[in-house]
Structures are given as C-alpha cells and as structure tokens.
Amino acid sequence: MKYLLGIDFGGGASKTTLLSEKGEIVATNTCEYPTNYPKPGYAEQNPSDWVMATVENIKGVLNKSSINPEDIFAISLDAATHTAVIMDEDFNVIRPAIYWTDTRSKEEVKYLRENFEDVIDRQVLHKADTIWSLPELMWIKNNEPKNWAKVRKILFAKDYVRHVLTGDYVTDYIEAEGSMMFDINSMQWSETLLDILDISSDMMPEVVKPTDKAGRITKEASALTGLSEGTLVFCGTTDTAMEVFASGAVNKGQMTLKLATAGRICVITDKPYPDVNLINYSHIMDGLFYPGTATKSCAASYRWFRDTFGEDYKELDNLAETIPIGSDGMVFHPYLNGELTPYANPNLCADFVGVRASHTKGHFARSVLEGVTMSMLDCKMCLDEKNIECNSYASIIGGGGKSPLWRQMVSDALGIKLVEMKYADSSFGSAMLAGVAAGVFDSFQSALEICNEVVSETIPNEENREEYLKLFKKYKAVQKALEPIYNGEY
C-alpha cells in the first residue's frame, strides 16, 4: 500500500494528513503555534515554530497509523501565502516572519501606489496592500537596515519548512504570484520590483510547478521526523489553492466559500480579473484561475472573541443560537487587522456598535458571527458586480464551515446553497497533489473521484435572507460613518 503525506500551515496551526492510495485518511495530527503581536498592527510568526509543528505532526501520524515510514510514497506542503522568510547565505533565519495580517507597511503601500501602480498593474495580479510580501520586505529594508544587510536568501513559509526537510531552494508559481515581486507575463521574478528592495533575482528561489519534484528527505530530516531518508517531496503550493482543489472546484464557474483565519469567495475562471477588489491566483490546473474577494479577519474574529472572553466554540455557538437575527441591535465589524474587500483599507478597526445593558455574551457571540457574515456578503456583492460566471452554489471550506449555525447564517445571507465535502482542508488537498505528482492518481479529477464526496448541503432560508439584508444596510451605514474616524480625520 502506498501512502501520501500532506502538510499544511494555517494561521494558527499546522495539520498533517496521511492518505492511502485508496483515498482513505489513515491519520491526521494538528499542532498549534502562536502569532505574536509585539506592537499594534504587527503580526509575526517564528519559522522555527513551523518546523517544530511539522516534526510533531509527522511523528503523530506515524504513531497513530503504525505504518512503515518506507511506505510513504510522496509528500507535499502548503501554507498561507506571502509569508516571507529572510535568511543569510547559510539559510539562517534573520528575524521572525511578518505575517500577512500585519499592517505596519502602510507607508510602503502608499509609496507603491504613487510610484509603481502602472508596473504592478502590468506585471502583478493584485493591487498594492499591506498583505503582500513586497511592502513587508520594504518595511524591513527601511526600518531594520542591519537585518536587511544580512539578507541573501528569501523563501516563503511552506518553502522554508520544505528546505529544512530536503535542502532545496524553490517555490511554486502560485506562491510567487502572492509576493508582488513576480511578473506573470514572463513567469519570472520582476527585476523592476526587486530593484525597489535593492536585491537581484539570484537571491530568490527558482519558480516551479506545484507538482514538480523539489527534493528528497535528507538524512538529517529523517532523524528529526522519523520519515524514511530519500522519500519524494514535491513543491506544493498555497493553502487556498489546495482547499479549492480539495473542495472539488476544478471547472469554470464553480465557487468556493472559505471561513478560515481569513474569509474568501473564489470562482474558477479561464482568465484573471485584475481589480482593486479582487485577488487573483492561478489554479493548479493549466489555463484556470481563481479570482476572489477576501475579508481579513474571518474565523480570526471568532478566535479572538473566544480567546479574549472565554468559552469554547461549541458553547459560544449554543449561546449565539438563542439570539435573534440582528443581535437585538448590536453590529460588529470584523476589521481587527484592517480590511480587504471592498475597502482595501488597513486603517479600519473592529467595533461593536449599539451595545446596551440588556446584551449578553450570546449577543456578542452572535454579533461577531453576523459581522463576518456581513463582510462575506460584501465580498459576494463585489463578485456579482464583475459579472463573473458563477454557479448557484459554493463548496464550503475552512474550519468555520464546521459550525452548522455559521454555515446556515452565510447561506441565508448570501442566498446560495453551500455544499460540504467529506474532506476539504488543505492538508488533504496537499496529500492528493502529492499523489497526482507521483503518479499514484492519474489526474486531479481522478484523485477527487477516489478520495472525496459530498456529505451535506445547506439550503438558504429566504425569510432569513430578508432580515440579513436589513442588517447589511445598517452594517454598511455604520462602516461609512466610522471610516473617517479610523482614517484619522477626527
């Protein structure tokens, strides 16, 4: 029996999935790691934490499954995009990685918009924002010159961990698209954009396909993890690309709706749609793309509420379920780290508005869920305005989609059917990608047919939709009123 290993790095945890060639999940293991917030607007992660989580997870699935490590035929990795790791000549990490929710690079974004907008429009699928690697690295160059002077190598989250496992120095083209340093026309690093950082393309990793072989498990990595030396490791790609694949979205018009650290609605198309409100990436299948909208703090908002005010998710859901739509007048905006669609404004802040003495913890919990749901409705309306061909349903992905309450909220508010697959997380997608790349599965489509199936559907309630549309008007009115304050105009 051949086995496949998929390793994912999300916003707050890494998950590893062990998949058999028959499409059965044999074992999974998850290990959390922290995001550090040293100052307001800052968000950083330590690459060493990703490595430790990887080691723990691999040992975990090996122990749970009791399989022979030599039977693991191939490995692939994925991670949240554009989390750059800067290193010296010997691949020693110089400083913690700036995470994509970090908003410190506002001045660098302003500089890019004023001086390089034409270049970015021609070469990059996105608009300048604090989430991309280029402005984050510009901030380090401008504010930490001693650290920047040491930089000789740059990798991204999953590529750094894979380097520890194999010694390779590559990334994939989807990851590169998220850096704001990659020219999609030439499929090469952009010398013009790298010049802003005073670095050359030889400091950047080679760009390959997600299904390309990156290397093999080294003797040192074998001793560290328990994997067999020489095990095949493929490049892999981004977490959203893997979730899109795992959800079955491999045909034009299919939609995915993601309730994870960030929230996204993506549509499979045969061309990109460059726009200030859309984030465009290539699909793992040639000739396809998945443009989409995004809210920065989706499940991150609920996690923040849980961590700050207590209770576990199930109990919070139970409390929220007793509260009527509209939370008895309370409105929450999930802008904990600024916002992307449709405002592209890192200055926006989260808020609870309309709080009264009668409100309970259940009201606050429901208000958080409703606030994120309203942000997802903002995202869906932006897609509708672009007249992109979409199906009338979406595959639900991300941990937030495991909540029946939240799933129904989103279905009602957006007025679309949500389809839940048996498996839809990115580590599962990475395991399938490893199987396709290694020839265990004949194609991406056949991998899905062997490994996955629909397990539930959530149908929208039209009466509830009317109530959510009323809430949305209030949500938008409050946002419009508060934005000048958050922009420092008062």
Strand-pair category, 153-156 with 84-87: antiparallel
> Where do the domains of the chain lie?
3-239, 248-423+460-490
How far apart CA 250 and CA 258 sit, in angstroms, is 16
Band (pLDDT 50/70/90 cuts) for residue 121 is very high
Would you say residue 56 has pLDDT above 90? yes
Give the amino acid at 39: K
Nearest in space to 379 (alpha carbons), one of 338, 351, 414, 417: 414
Whether 171 contacts 207, CB under 8 Å: yes
Confidence of residue 125 (pLDDT cuts 50, 70, 90): confident
Q: Model confidence at 334, in pLDDT bands (50, 70, 90)? A: very high
Note whether 3-239 and 248-423+460-490 share their fold. yes
E strand map for 66-219? 72-79, 84-87, 97-98, 153-156, 170-172, 182-183, 188-189, 206-208, 213-216
Single-letter code of the amino acid located at 385: E
Query: 11 falls in which pLDDT band (50, 70, 90)?
Result: confident
Strand partners, 351: 333
CA-CA distance, 468 to 373, in Å (whole number)? 9
Q: Is the pLDDT of residue 387 over 90?
A: no
Q: 224, 231 in Cβ contact below 8 A?
A: no
pLDDT recorded at residue 277: 85
Closest CA to 64 of 103, 100, 21, 18: 18
For the stretch 242-300, pLDDT in tens is: 999 999 999 999 999 999 889 999 999 999 988 888 899 999 999 999 999 999 999 99
| Structural fold of domain 3-239 | Nucleotidyltransferase; domain 5 (3.30.420)
Question: What is the DSSP track for 376-443?
Answer: HHHHHHHHHHTT----SEEEEESGGGG-HHHHHHHHHHHT-EEEEES---HHHHHHHHHHHHTTSSSS
How confident is the prediction for the chain on average, in pLDDT? 96
What is the per-residue pLDDT for 389? 87
Assess contact for 304 and 297: CB atoms under 8 A. yes
Q: How far is CA 404 from the centre of its chain?
A: 22
Hey, what's the torsion of the CAs at 343, 13, 69, 66, to 10 degrees? -130
The CATH superfamily holding the domain 248-423+460-490 is ATPase, nucleotide binding domain (3.30.420.40)
What secondary structure letter does DSSP report for 213? E
Residue 126 has pLDDT above 90, yes or no: no
Report the alpha-carbon distance of residue 283 to residue 278 in Å, rounded: 15
Q: How far apart are CA 135 and CA 379, in angstroms?
A: 24
pTM of the model: 0.90
pLDDT at 310 over 90: no
H/E stretch holding 446 reads helix 444-451
Average pLDDT over residues 57-82: 97
Question: 19 with 431: CB under 8 angstroms?
Answer: yes
CA-CA distance, 54 to 52, in Å (whole number)? 5
pLDDT of the residue at 311: 85
Q: Could you report the per-residue pLDDT of 391-443, keeping only the tens digit for each?
A: 889 999 988 999 999 999 999 999 999 999 999 899 999 999 999 999 999 99
pLDDT per residue as tens digits for the range 457-473? 999 999 999 999 999 99
